[in-house]
Amino acid sequence: MNILICSVGRRVKLIEFFKEELNKVGGKVIAVDCDSTAPALHFADAYEIVPRITHPEYIQQLIYLCKEYQVSAVLSLIDPELSLLANYKKEFEKEGVKVIVSDKEVVDICFDKFLTAHFLNENGIPSIPTYLEIDEVIQDLENDKIQFPLIVKPKNGSASLGIHKVSSLEELRVLQREFNGLIVQPFIEGEEFGVDCYIDLISKETSNIFIKKKISMRAGETDKSVSVIDPHLTMIIEKLVTTLEPIGPIDIDCFRTKKGYVVSEINPRFGGGYLHAHGMGENFVSNIIRNLKGRTNGVRRNEYKEGTKMIKYDHFQLL
């Protein structure tokens, strides 16, 4: 059993986790990226350099590599590629390759932050007020429904890129004139949490929920965190997942405010903070392998130790 992982970038430990679990069953992890210096490439069993995901031959190149390496499943680690792979599930399935990506409707909801907020509101899941139109922002400012400071960011952004904190209407108007496709949200004061979930590929049940409080962030990813057990947040996440119906690994960001929890983002892929969950026994990699063998995963709840901290650190490799 071989698994191909796309756009691996810097995710070295995740590639090592896949390599470790696949080697137990006689399988290999194949890594691909458009950048030959992407660190994670050089820790896989094999790797290939591929075109950018926008290249017209990109999908055909992936299918070719799946044949060459006898790949059983393919997944991606970046948001923009999820929708692309979701579009071509049938093409991969014709070659006997499982695409571990949620349905396109689910991916599109998660990738567009305005659609995410709309989905959460429609289904009674606590969320952050989100605006596309500046007139609506001004109206709610005047009615004291929201207050400065506000956060302005791309509605299709990722990795915390393009985020601006604004403290006046003048600043807001400047950003609105200069950039398209922005959303506006109130600045949320509160503790930030990340939730790693695994939704079984066969039973569609949520087999794992791991909650961590974020101590610090770097480049949009969790840099330090502490494990938490919280039944109330678990209930919110279970409702979200049941309603949204994603599959595989899911990463959900939340804030705990004075009024309670709010969900801020949903990423239907391995999150940057998954390392903490894996280290605490919430092994989504072995879950994937078990599913690919046609076996379901049991449901785990609160089987990890609370209060354990994760810290990331730098390392290097000479090529």
* Helix orientation angle between 12-24 and 284-292, rounded to the nearest 10 degrees: 40
314 or 92, higher pLDDT: 92
Domain positions in the chain: 2-100, 129-186, 189-311
Q: What is the pLDDT of residue 112?
A: 95
Measured CA to CA, the distance from residue 257 to residue 89 in angstroms comes to 39
Q: What is the pLDDT of residue 194?
A: 97
193: nearest Cα among 151, 149, 163, 232: 232
Q: What's the number of CA atoms in the CB half-sphere (13 Å) around residue 128? A: 25
Q: Check residue 195 and give its pLDDT.
A: 98
Res. 179 pLDDT band, cuts 50 70 90: confident
pLDDT, tens only, 44-75: 999 999 999 999 999 999 999 999 999 999 99
Output the pLDDT for position 161.
66
User: Exposure string (b/e) for 105-117, b if CB count within 10 Å is 16 or more?
Assistant: ebbbbbbbbbbbb
Q: What is the pLDDT of residue 162?
A: 73
- The token duo for 241 is 């997942």
Name the CATH code of domain 189-311 (choices 3.90.1150.10, 4.10.1240.10, 3.30.470.20, 3.40.50.1370): 3.30.470.20
Q: What is the pLDDT of residues 149-168, one digit of tens each?
A: 999 988 886 655 678 899 99
- Report whether pLDDT(80) > 60: yes
For residues 178-202, one letter each, b for 16 or more C-beta atoms within 10 angstroms of the residue's C-beta and e for the rest, the string is: eeeebbbbbeeeeebbbbbbbbbbe
pLDDT score, position 157? 67
The mean predicted confidence, pLDDT, of the chain is: 95
Query: Superfamily for 129-186?
Result: ATP-grasp fold, A domain (3.30.1490.20)
The pLDDT score that the predictor gives to residue 314 is 85
Q: Could you report the per-residue pLDDT of 267-312, keeping only the tens digit for each? A: 999 999 999 999 999 999 999 999 999 999 999 999 999 999 999 9
Considering the segment(s) 2-100 as one domain, its CATH architecture is 3-Layer(aba) Sandwich (3.40)
Total-model pTM: 0.94
| pLDDT-wise least confident of 130-144, 163-177, 223-237 | 163-177
Calpha distance 264→196 (Å, rounded): 14
The reported pLDDT for the residue numbered 318 is 81
Predicted pLDDT at 309: 97
Please give the structure tokens belonging to residue 243. 């309603």
- The structure tokens 């894996």 sit at 278
| pLDDT of res. 19 | 98
For residue 161, the tally of other CB atoms under 10 A from its CB is 10
Confidence of residue 13 (pLDDT cuts 50, 70, 90): very high
